Structure 1
Amino acid sequence: MTDTPNKHKHLEFIQASINRMSGNLFLLKGWSITLIAALFALAAKDTNKAYILIAYFPLFIFWALDGYFLSQERRFRALYEHVRKLREEDIDFSMETGSFRTDPRTNWMAAIRSRTLTIYYAGLAVVMLALAPFIR
């Protein structure tokens, strides 16, 4: 086995970026639930259904942000795979992911339409619709 300290270090840098993007995805989901629940609580407290309509705005904003971070995570995963296959002497420690934009999976719109985000945010929208009639 050859000694590949540069490759290992570069892969660690990329993995740290992947972990950061994953953490952002997790935080956005938590904030979306918190904010939407707070708006529903205000709607119930003040008997003002306008808060329910306002709750859809952050839903779509968080969905778009989640899609952005997921597309970035996918680009870093593609970079990881690229670097993993490089020879030690070809390692340049580049963190540039622009060359992976042409991959359909790393596209922002593809990420927004991903199965996990669609199930989560569309499911949240359905729950909001189902709860709206109970707000008096």
Structure 2
Amino acid sequence: MDHKVNHLQMIQGIISRMGQNSFLLKGWAITLVAALFALSGQGAREEFLLFAYVPILIFWVLDAYYLRQERMYIHLYDYVRKKDDKDIDYNMNLDQLPVESSKLFVVFLSKTILVFYLPITILIVLAMLFLP
């Protein structure tokens, strides 16, 4: 039973790191958009708001990638949890999973991602329309 617990702890560590990476990306996205809003509001060129789309899109894709990886490792966790202790080989390869993993585009449009990045995108559009 010790082998299974150790393997599950390894997988749980990876899942935690994926969640932490997602959290950090969201923090950087907010920081960067706030900085670009501050620059555009201080009489700088309004094109700074247009530049906000590039990092938001990059952060959105990266966040979707980490969420996809997290989900895949959750499937691996469940797969290892059901194995016998004698069958534990500490394999972290996601290709061994019997389930088909989510496509990145599907995760890109998932509720947990859209709830965060879509309002930021809408806010940038509104700022471009209504800021002098």
Amino acid at match of 1:22: G
Partner of 1:116: 112
Contact map agreement 1:75 1:101 (CA 8 A) in 2: no
- The reply to whether residue 30 of structure 1 matches residue 27 of structure 2 is yes
Contact map agreement 2:79 2:97 (CA 8 A) in 1: no
Pick aligned residue for 1:21 from 18, 21, 25 = 18
Q: Paired residues, what number?
A: 132
- What is the TM-score with the length of structure 1 in the denominator? 0.90
CA distance in 2, matches of 1:94, 1:27: 28
26 and 95 in structure 1: CA distance in 2 versus 1, 3 angstrom threshold: same
Structure 1 portions without partners, runs of 5+:
none
Give the fraction of aligned pairs with identical amino acids, expressed as a percent: 39
CA distance in 2, matches of 1:12, 1:135: 50
Amino acid at match of 1:67: A
Contact map agreement 1:101 1:107 (CA 8 A) in 2: no
Amino acid at match of 1:93: Y
Contact map agreement 1:21 1:72 (CA 8 A) in 2: yes
Partner of 2:53: 56
CA distance in 1, matches of 2:86, 2:96: 20
- The reply to whether residue 78 of structure 1 matches residue 79 of structure 2 is no
Partner of 1:44: 41
Partner of 1:91: 88
Residues 71-114 of structure 1: CA deviation (Å, up to 9, x unaligned): 1001100000000000000000011112449625x321121111
CA distance in 2, matches of 1:6, 1:37: 47
Of 94-103 and 59-68, deviating more is: 94-103
- What is the TM-score with the length of structure 2 in the denominator? 0.93
Partner of 2:125: 129
**Which runs of at least 4 in structure 1 moved beyond 6 Å after TM superposition?**
none
Structure 2 portions without partners, runs of 5+:
none
